[in-house]
Structure 1
């Protein structure tokens, strides 16, 4: 599309937050435009269809806290099928490498860790969550592995205050044809300039000027939804500068969680639908494997933290090779010829993301509120990193976009 000369509210970034903002602005009758560097909607929400019709959510996949998740009614409204079966993340199919008695011991250990961390979250000091691991506990590596899936990093880099702020209701559902597909459909009615990289937001004059790779436009208000790593690196520059926003973004870096999809080429009946395996229990750098998700002929592997970053940096194919090695170690050498890589994510190498989702560094839990605060009733900020309780999630991002849009709309009556 051709860039308009002017809109009421311009939105930088067309992920879940930007789309949530655009839908809210549209409903209020104001003109808007999503300015998106990628050639697609969705940001870190992205579904691709693999061979055999297998949907693969390259980014976010689960409707976390589904009983309170704003994307659930949106899915119903748009005709998407919601699968309400619960994940088996705490289980180990076949008991291989992680028998039932050990799983019970691990559950007790991780529950005790969270209980200690919850008490610690009431203290003034916002210390690393790792401080509340029991020294020498046999299950500390697996507890750290869980952190890499949840936070994208190990516990030493996680604020204990922030960890406690997250709200989890233990209802985790899925979209049958992909969460990324839902978010793209939700954004379809919104005007968007795709393949358009914003570089400067000049808010010095009576109208805000936005410089992009396809020209310049002006707006009365701007909502910024880009990931924190890009804000911290000033990939989009503000004029006048906003050092408090840059610093807050730096305190909320993106961790890394990458996924790989493996085709199961034979002996499909040997795997139960929606089974689960941990690749190992004695180290933090290990995969979590979803066997035959939704009954499909595949295995989805999930890796997080520094281990995922090392695999991403090792190049294409490293994640799949590691996943196959771990599955084969559990199920036997015959499985090496039954598995074939289909695709994998490398979010740390995506120039418009540079990671997966935010975590607050120790002493930086308060940065979420700093990042979310408006500037002079003209610049507004959204994205999962600005959500006080549902950060790291697609619905937290969407809700933050709606919140920022309402703030922007209300500002017109004050000026």
Structure 2
């Protein structure tokens, strides 16, 4: 790619970057998106099983679907949305432990969340672990749930940040995969793949970005990389941006791992549960998975892990993750299930050099750092991505909305009067 000039350079072809580029195009402002990976979508990534069934290794649920902008985009692209709600395993838990214990479990979950909610939006902030009653029978189960939600253990999490997260409780799915949707949304956007940015120079009248394919020059830049890429200085800034590094360190990436297994054709009925049932691997420990059986009626199992367990499994490799999953599934449904399952794919977000984790969380005392992270620099360098969202962090729609906001801010710099070319 020769040296070229555009109005805006967008770094990252994930949900935030593609949203920003689409919005800039709508406003008649030239933009190019540079993406380090060889594909679009970022942490939204759909693969296919041998049987041709979509499997989302990244985001999978349209959270807050009743106000999630990706729903309208999906419909505009002609992609089917499944509106059946999940129960996050509650049905299978009730069947497993009985009505009385299930009532006790539900009441405990409500107590735990109430303790966190009492911290309020303004704090003073504390870790989530500081708020939970030690020795409670159901505490390990709640710790597992926190790991699924945040990708980290309660002791590492800001309670204020968790309270600020806003969700309507409506969760839908894209039948062909969330990753498919995000990648399809990039059609028509000028994207250069396999183009990591290694430096950003703000000292001249235009911002200069260095990539292995050459230099790019723009009047403004929208940066959508995850916080660790700022904290680790994967991108060199001239002049340096110590305030961004400090913000990034307060917003590390949580760990979530996924494994998909395919049910071998002709296996018959392996469990006495309806398709789309979710089953926890264990109820008495935090280091356990959540298993989605036959999602959307397909012959798959989606295994989901969070926090330290997710990191350990990803580091151990796909085969170790498969062994762990089949071990828990055998404990649930008998050892015979082993011969009826074959691996499809496993995630590896912790080792991915362009994400270094699944999505952001705030450390205790770090909730307000999201506002610091999103602040523009020099009136020309803008930031977007799920970590920049105050109340929709960790979600694809949160990333999208910050991308739209960044595009609007960049557009105001390029054409202060709002004119079009």
| TM-score (ref. length: structure 1) | 0.97
Question: In the TM superposition, what are the counterparts of 1:296-307 in structure 2 within 5 Å?
Answer: 296-307=298-309
Distance 1:174 1:95 in 2: 24
1:287 to 286, 289, 301: 289
Q: Is the 8 A contact 1:268 1:297 kept in 2?
A: no
1:327 to 305, 326, 329: 329
Distance 2:327 2:94 in 1: 18
Structure 1 alignment gaps of length 5 or more: none
The alpha-carbon deviation at position 100 of structure 1 amounts to: 3.8
Q: Does 1:398 align with 2:397?
A: no
Residue number in structure 1 paired with 2:218 = 219
The alpha-carbon deviation at position 99 of structure 1 amounts to: 3.6
The alpha-carbon deviation at position 94 of structure 1 amounts to: 8.0
Distance 1:24 1:113 in 2: 41
Q: Is the 8 A contact 1:228 1:253 kept in 2?
A: yes
User: CA offsets per residue over residues 47-94 of structure 1, 9 Å max, x none?
Assistant: 111111110111001000101101011111110100000012142438
- Specify the SS of the correspondent of 1:400: helix
Distance 1:309 1:76 in 2: 35
Q: Is the 8 A contact 2:60 2:178 kept in 1?
A: yes
Residue number in structure 1 paired with 2:259 = 260
- Specify the SS of the correspondent of 2:105: helix
Residue number in structure 2 paired with 1:163 = 162
Residue number in structure 2 paired with 1:44 = 43
Distance 2:123 2:389 in 1: 21
- Specify the SS of the correspondent of 1:211: strand
Distance 2:144 2:262 in 1: 25
Q: Is the 8 A contact 1:88 1:274 kept in 2?
A: no
The alpha-carbon deviation at position 103 of structure 1 amounts to: 2.8
Q: Is the 8 A contact 1:92 1:278 kept in 2?
A: no
Distance 1:246 1:407 in 2: 22
User: CA offsets per residue over residues 295-350 of structure 1, 9 Å max, x none?
Assistant: 00111100010011111111231111101100110111221222222211111111
What count of residue pairs does the alignment treat as equivalent?
A: 414
The alpha-carbon deviation at position 104 of structure 1 amounts to: 2.4
Distance 1:100 1:231 in 2: 49
- Specify the SS of the correspondent of 1:218: strand
Distance 1:60 1:411 in 2: 33
Question: C-alpha root-mean-square deviation of aligned residues, in Å?
Answer: 1.5
- Specify the SS of the correspondent of 1:246: helix
User: CA offsets per residue over residues 239-267 of structure 1, 9 Å max, x none?
Assistant: 10111111101110111101001111212
Q: Is the 8 A contact 2:229 2:354 kept in 1?
A: yes
Q: Is the 8 A contact 2:121 2:164 kept in 1?
A: no
The alpha-carbon deviation at position 272 of structure 1 amounts to: 1.9
Residue number in structure 2 paired with 1:6 = 5
The alpha-carbon deviation at position 142 of structure 1 amounts to: 0.9
Distance 2:241 2:149 in 1: 30
Structure 2 alignment gaps of length 5 or more: none
Range with bigger deviation, 114-123 or 305-314: 114-123
Q: Is the 8 A contact 1:289 1:299 kept in 2?
A: yes
- Specify the SS of the correspondent of 2:23: helix
| TM-score (ref. length: structure 2) | 0.95
Range with bigger deviation, 260-269 or 376-385: 260-269
Distance 1:176 1:197 in 2: 31
